[in-house]
Structure 1
């Protein structure tokens, strides 16, 4: 029995929204990968949210949306039902992750600050950590935890009134001696990292909001298609 008008449109809407949903998944993978690469230079764990989790979510969305497209195209009740269930689970996981990130944001701030201080205190004993911190200070144009004066309490830096050369605005022979805002980055790495996360959180929030909208629409249209298929219609 041929489906007239409405159900035929539902089939193609499911297919169309799954394609857009697939694009959103690819966007999440791209955003998460960018954050992973940027934070790979940080001597502490990624704060607030895990870029690896964003990448994993994007990959899951890509596979689920592909499954939904196949189910809609083949008019398979089982595949469309599985897609609707998986899509609902992804939506619930996103809500839980957002709530968890909001509740733990203050705790995460303290852990990041503690991690930066620990990296500074081990700077002279751990060459690998020193290199990571140097790269981080150059990448984010920052110095110390809260500002460049934090280095005054660390080993020979405080005794000699110096900071690491990675703090220098312009690399010269004595740019790190008797540091001042004119010669070194005045801003600390903690506020610099927070500012970077706030800027990129807007992008991430926009992508996540778009994904959530398509998830809701995808579930609604999938349920409509499931009902049509189960009623014995042949969707064309």
Structure 2
């Protein structure tokens, strides 16, 4: 009876952690979509480390949600095969997350290099008055920056009238404030470095969240293994 009661407690904790898995899955999907949205505005599309990583995060989140459903069904029906499947899939997810974390660390400089290259390309497209105008203006306003490396990058861009910068470079944004500007009236720092600083400042938050998710998943594996052992031994778990 003591073992049976202990397994009831483990089963209850297993359900609680399944809810946590669902929350983690939704969180991963949201983070992946957000990262994809941000990167799609500044990094060209293609199979590059910067563009692939958000897709991996979204896929892991969706897969984790499906695995949580498998774990719930396995616990409810006390099905040995479903619980083994849950343990195997959850272990694979942990391995994929570790691999993604390592890849993000290894390719961090590559991502910034892509960002710098594509930011400069977007600057060249700026005079065409397409969606690039909206994207760059919003980035320059939000991060209070101007150009890729600094405001002088705009000197090579054929804006009319010649020698101006976009109005979004101005400290106080008003119409045509970028014409005949004075240096003390605009943001002089480049966007690539300022956005890089912002990303680095949020790395600890992302790392803490990743560790929390991994901890929940490992606990889930432990509780699932306990249930598998109980089912295999023929104990009645209510």
When the two structures are superposed, what TM-score results if normalisation uses the length of structure 1?
A: 0.85
1:214 and 1:129, CA in 2 relative to 1: closer, same or farther beyond 3 A? Answer: same
1:85 and 1:127, CA in 2 relative to 1: closer, same or farther beyond 3 A? Answer: same
Cα distance, 1:143 vs structure 2: 1.2
Give me the whole-angstrom Cα distance separating, in 1, the residues matched to 2:76 and 2:163: 70
Q: Does the 8 A contact of 1:18 with 1:69 survive in 2?
A: yes
**Which of 132, 135, 144 matches 1:132?**
135
Give me the whole-angstrom Cα distance separating, in 2, the residues matched to 1:191 and 1:225: 51
Give the match for residue 62 of structure 2. Answer: 59
1:92 and 1:152, CA in 2 relative to 1: closer, same or farther beyond 3 A? Answer: same
Give the match for residue 189 of structure 1. Answer: 191
SS in 1 for 2:184: coil
Q: Does the 8 A contact of 2:28 with 2:58 survive in 1?
A: yes
SS in 2 for 1:122: helix
Give the match for residue 225 of structure 1. Answer: 227
SS in 2 for 1:155: coil
SS in 1 for 2:185: coil
If each structure's helix is expressed as a fraction of its own residues, which one has the higher value?
Answer: 2
**Which of 198, 205, 209 matches 2:211?**
209
Give me the whole-angstrom Cα distance separating, in 1, the residues matched to 2:120 and 2:172: 24
Give me the whole-angstrom Cα distance separating, in 2, the residues matched to 1:3 and 1:188: 64
Give me the whole-angstrom Cα distance separating, in 2, the residues matched to 1:119 and 1:150: 12
Q: Does the 8 A contact of 1:146 with 1:191 survive in 2?
A: yes
**In the alignment, structure 1 residue 161 sits paired with structure 2 residue 156:** no
Q: Does the 8 A contact of 2:44 with 2:118 survive in 1?
A: yes
Range with bigger deviation, 90-99 or 204-213: 204-213
**Which of 70, 73, 76 matches 2:73?**
70
Deviations 1:164-205 (A, max 9, x none): 122222233442124445322222111222133224433322
Q: Does the 8 A contact of 2:42 with 2:115 survive in 1?
A: no
SS in 2 for 1:235: coil
Across the two proteins, how many residue pairs are aligned to each other? Answer: 235
Give the match for residue 80 of structure 1. Answer: 83
Cα distance, 1:212 vs structure 2: 0.2
Range with bigger deviation, 197-206 or 18-27: 197-206
Give the match for residue 120 of structure 2. Answer: 117
RMSD: 2.7
Cα distance, 1:10 vs structure 2: 2.1
Deviations 1:206-227 (A, max 9, x none): 2211110011111122112111
Unaligned runs of 5+ in 2: none
1:200 and 1:70, CA in 2 relative to 1: closer, same or farther beyond 3 A? Answer: farther
Unaligned runs of 5+ in 1: none
